[in-house]
C-alpha cells in the first residue's frame, strides 16, 4: 500500500506511540494470510518499535489456522471456533494486544515497504488524530482512495450498480468518493481494509460495533 495517507478527524487525548500491535481477522483466508503476515513481518525494521501480531480466526474450515501456526510461530493465533463477525473478532484482537498504535488489516491486504512506518509517523505528528489509512493499490495497478463522505440517497442507489458503470462521473458519486472539486478536508469515514488507530481512540469510542 502506498505511503500517502488520508486522515480522519477523531480527536483524542495527547499520547505518544511507543509500540505497535497488528490485528488480522480471518475466515477461510488460507489463500491470502501468508502474504499478508509476511508483509507485516517485513515492516518491523521500518517501524523500529516493538510490534506484536494477533490473528483472530472466525471459525475457518480451511487451513488458515494451521498455516499461521506453522509459518508464523511468533503470531498469537486465537480461534473463536465460530463466526462472530468482524467487529466482535477485531475487538477480541484489540483486547489481547497492548500496542499504543493498533493496525487493523484485512488478510487479503498487504503492506508495501514503508507504509506502516508512514502511518505511525503521521499519528505521531498529529497528536489529536485518532486514525489514518493508506491509499489502496489494486491488483490491476489502480490506486484507490479509502476516503469517503457519507452517502447521499443518490450515491447509495448508484454505488456498485450498473448506474456507476455507465455514469462513473455522476456528481453524487464523485462527492461520495471525494473525487470532486471539494475533496479537501477530513473524510467522514474510511474504507476498513487497512486502518491504523491510536489505541486511545479505540478505548474512548468503545472499539468496533459488534453487530458489524
- Name the strand (E) or helix (H) holding 35: helix 33-42
9 neighbors 186 (Cβ within 8 angstroms):
yes
When pLDDT is averaged across residues 139-147 and rounded to a whole number, the result is 88
pLDDT on residue 183:
57
Query: Which residues does 120 contact at the CB level (< 8 Å), separation at least 6?
Result: 17, 20, 47, 49, 101, 196
Q: How confident is the model at residue 211, as a pLDDT? A: 85
Rounded mean pLDDT, 138-149: 89
C-alpha to C-alpha distance for 121 and 23, rounded to whole angstroms: 19
How far apart are alpha carbons 70 and 58 in whole angstroms?
18
The pTM assigned to this predicted structure is 0.86
| 81-134 per-position pLDDT tens digit | 999 999 999 999 999 999 999 999 999 999 999 999 999 999 999 988 999 999
CA distances (Å), origin 158, targets 154, 183, 189, 207? 6, 19, 18, 30
Give pLDDT, residue 129.
Answer: 92
- Give the mean pLDDT of the chain: 89
* Cell numbers found for residue 80: 473463536
User: pLDDT at position 6, please?
Assistant: 37
Rg (CA), the chain: 17
User: Residue 72: pLDDT above 60?
Assistant: yes
Is the pLDDT confidence value at 200 over 90? yes
pLDDT at position 185: 76
pLDDT value for 3:
36
Segment 144-188, tens digit of pLDDT: 899 999 999 999 998 889 989 898 889 888 888 888 665 567 899
Average of pLDDT values for 54-63? 97
- Other CB atoms within 10 Å distance of the CB of residue 135: 18
High-pLDDT (> 70) share of the chain, %: 91
Residue 93: count of CB within 10 angstroms of its CB: 23
82 CB contacts (<8 Å, ≥6 apart)? 58, 59
Say how many C-beta atoms besides its own lie within 10 A of residue 68's C-beta.
26
Q: pLDDT-based confidence at 9, cuts 50/70/90?
A: very low
The answer to whether 196 touches 132, Cβ cutoff 8 Å, is yes
pLDDT at 181: 61
Strands (E), the chain: 5-7, 20-26, 51-57, 76-79, 101-105, 131-134, 136-137, 143-144, 147-148, 189-190, 194-198
d(CA 201, CA 119): 15
Do residues 134 and 117 make contact, with C-beta atoms less than 8 angstroms apart?
A: no
pLDDT at 140: 87
Closest to 27 in 3D by CA, of 6, 55, 54: 55
Instruction: Please check the confidence at residue 5 and state whether its pLDDT lies above 50.
Output: no
Amino acid at each position: 500500500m502506498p505511503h500517502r495517507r488520508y486522515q480522519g478527524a477523531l480527536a483524542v487525548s495527547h499520547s505518544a506511540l511507543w509500540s505497535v500491535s497488528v490485528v488480522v481477522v480471518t475466515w477461510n483466508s488460507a489463500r491470502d494470510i501468508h502474504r499478508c503476515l509476511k508483509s507485516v513481518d517485513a515492516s518491523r525494521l521500518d517501524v523500529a518499535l516493538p510490534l506484536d501480531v494477533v490473528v483472530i480466526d472466525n471459525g475457518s474450515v480451511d487451513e488458515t489456522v494451521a498455516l499461521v501456526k506453522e509459518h508464523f510461530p511468533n503470531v498469537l493465533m486465537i480461534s473463536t471456533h465460530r463466526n462472530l463477525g468482524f467487529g466482535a473478532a477485531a475487538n477480541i484482537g484489540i483486547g489481547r494486544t497492548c500496542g499504543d498504535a493498533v493496525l487493523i488489516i484485512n488478510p487479503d491486504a498487504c503492506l508495501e515497504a514503508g507504509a506502516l512506518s508512514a502511518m505511525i509517523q503521521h499519528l505521531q505528528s498529529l497528536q489529536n488524530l485518532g486514525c489514518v489509512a493508506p491509499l489502496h493499490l489494486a491488483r490491476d495497478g489502480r490506486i484507490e482512495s479509502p476516503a469517503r463522505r457519507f452517502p447521499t440517497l443518490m450515491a447509495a442507489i448508484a454505488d456498485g450498480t450498473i448506474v456507476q458503470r455507465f455514469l462513473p462521473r455522476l456528481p453524487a458519486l464523485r462527492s461520495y468518493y471525494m473525487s470532486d472539486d471539494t475533496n479537501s478536508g477530513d473524510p467522514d469515514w474510511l474504507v476498513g481494509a487497512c486502518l491504523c488507530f491510536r489505541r486511545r481512540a479505540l478505548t474512548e469510542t468503545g472499539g468496533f460495533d459488534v453487530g458489524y
